Amino acid sequence: MESSERSSSVPTQALNPFMPGAGIRPPELVGRERDLEAIDRMVARTKLQLMNQGIIYSGLRGVGKTVLLLSLQEIANSKGMATARIEAEGDPRADYDKLFREIGLLAARLQSSTLQDKLSNVISNAESVSLSIMGIGGSVTVSDSDELRTSSLRLELVIESIVQQLRAENSGMYLFVDELQEMDKEPLGTLIAIQHRMGQENMPFYLIGAGLPNLPGVLSRTKSYAERLFDYRTIGQLSEEDTAEGFQKPAQRGTRPFSDEALKELVHVSHGYPYFIQAYGKAAWNVSDSNPISLDSVKRSEPIARAELDQGLYASRWQRASLMGREYMAAMARVSGDVPCSSSDIAEDMGKTPKETSAVRDALIHLGLIYSPERGKVAFTVPGMGEFITRATPPTGQAYDQTR
Ligand SMILES: Nc1ncnc2c1ncn2[C@@H]1O[C@H](COP(=O)(O)OP(=O)(O)OP(=O)(O)O)[C@@H](O)[C@H]1O
Ligand SMILES: [Mg+2]
């Protein structure tokens, strides 16, 4: 360690600004200026009672969807919009519960007694209205699907009441939903329908969702008009310039920048993936014994970063798959590495027919490990998963099997 660092009272590692992890705010949110400007514009228009579209972000694992939603919510909040955020679960009751809880808190924060009265009326009315719509009266046993219909109606009425009040105050409701592709189709259909109706009625309700690359397809399968309802944006790899900034700005603030060669190497190995920026940045900072951080330190830190990525990003996902699922993913890696490949080529590689492999493919899609970028094709949801499998698994697909 250098003498200047040894003399410092705080250990250098404790000052490490880089933080790989799911949903952990980066020290510098790079490459998202356009999205931050878009939310600024939306808020400005909402204040003028002009309409906007909801936004749908889609991208692979670790590209920064969650932290982007967090930043957008923070901006909307700080500019006087009423916001709520949930992470979808995939169970209709759990999804509705989360929606009611967070939207209930949003309403409570508005501190309006007229709104509270209106909401309690709306909620009790929703039960009886939905029962009479079903034509069964209050005393008949209510089935699961009736209960979901009641929740759907109640959600619509609650949102409508809140948004009416917000509009009168030149504000609006911004609902952020992470992992939206996971949401059960019943609450998802309800949310899309609400977005549709609110738009027609010039009411400021905006769904801002994020999820895996299959999200746009999930939405249009749920309601075909969803295609025209939202502003669809993909988030992926960052430009070289933004990637360099993602490394250098936090390091400079920590008064230990990267040398030009070190930075070039980091930009190269991280491929512009936000999660990789944090993982490689963290390892390089910890290994370095020089200021500025040298190319040599970066080179020495790379195996450490890769091991952390293997453990944190890849191995846990690999272990989530069944043995058949692992064989399928190993075949994907063999056939085309990290680029999308055709399901029939994978089946052929496994010595099976496409029909014989469709159940395992669907199970992997359900687990969120792979997705279908277009009909008849599959791809990994985690960048670099194919490379990991090729590197870490013997041909039998048994690697990282210790936990089973
Ligand atoms: N724009 C960015 N600049 C720098 N680092 C970022 C950026 N966006 C995200 N990160 C970092 O990348 C990592 C992953 O971010 P995040 O959890 O938001 O990704 P995600 O797309 O939601 O992933 P998942 O699909 O697994 O939920 C975090 O450590 C975060 O700090
Ligand atoms: Mg996320």
Q: Distance between CA 173 and CA 127 in Å, rounded? A: 24
Compute the average pLDDT of residues 275-285.
Answer: 97
Q: Which protein residue's CA is at the shortest distance from atom 31 of ligand 1? A: 26
CATH number at residue 263: 1.10.8
Note whether 145 and 217 are same-domain residues. Answer: yes
Q: What is the pLDDT of residues 235-261, one digit of tens each?
A: 999 999 999 999 999 999 999 999 999
Counting Cα atoms < 13 Å in the Cβ hemisphere of 232 gives 16
Q: Is the CB of 29 under 6 A from ligand 1?
A: yes
Range of 309's domain? 243-315
pLDDT of residue 3: 44
pLDDT of residue 8: 53
Note whether 82 and 103 are same-domain residues. Answer: yes
Mutating to test ligand 1, I would choose from 25, 58, 278 the residue with most ligand atoms within 8 A of its C-beta, which is 278
Q: What is the pLDDT of residues 344-364, one digit of tens each?
A: 999 999 999 999 999 999 999
Domain boundary among 315, 348, 374: 315
pLDDT of residue 298: 97
Beta strand pairing call for 230-234 and 54-58 = parallel
Domain count for the chain:
3
Note whether 250 and 230 are same-domain residues. Answer: no
Q: What is the pLDDT of residues 149-173, one digit of tens each?
A: 888 999 999 999 999 999 999 999 9
Compute the average pLDDT of residues 284-308.
Answer: 95
Note whether 180 and 251 are same-domain residues. Answer: no
Q: What is the pLDDT of residues 42-67, one digit of tens each?
A: 999 999 999 999 999 999 999 999 99
Averaged confidence pLDDT in the chain: 90
Ligand sitting nearest the alpha carbon of 381: 1
- Identify the band that residue 130 occupies on the pLDDT scale cut at 50, 70 and 90: low
Domain boundary among 181, 200, 234: 234
Order of strands across the sheet that contains 377-380: 341-342, 377-380, 370-371
Give the three-class secondary structure for 397.
coil
Note whether 133 and 104 are same-domain residues. Answer: yes
Angle value at C-alpha 99, between 118 and 35, nearest 5 degrees: 110
Q: Is the CB of 61 under 6 A from ligand 1?
A: yes
Note whether 59 and 185 are same-domain residues. Answer: yes
pLDDT of residue 401: 47
pLDDT of residue 159: 95
Is the pLDDT assigned to residue 111 strictly greater than 90?
A: no
Q: Is residue 5 part of a domain?
A: no
Compute the average pLDDT of residues 113-123.
Answer: 80
Q: Is residue 398 part of a domain?
A: no
Q: Is residue 187 part of a domain?
A: yes
Q: Is the CB of 67 under 6 A from ligand 1?
A: yes
CATH number at residue 359: 1.10.10.10
pLDDT of residue 311: 87
Note whether 224 and 275 are same-domain residues. Answer: no
Note whether 52 and 110 are same-domain residues. Answer: yes
Q: Is the CB of 278 under 6 A from ligand 1?
A: yes
Note whether 268 and 387 are same-domain residues. Answer: no
pLDDT of residue 98: 95
Is the pLDDT assigned to residue 291 strictly greater than 70?
A: yes
Phi, psi dihedral angles at 211 (to 5 degrees): -175, -170
Nearest-atom number in ligand 1 for the CA of 26 is 31
CATH number at residue 163: 3.40.50.300
Q: Is residue 84 part of a domain?
A: yes
Q: Is the CB of 66 under 6 A from ligand 1?
A: yes
pLDDT of residue 133: 58
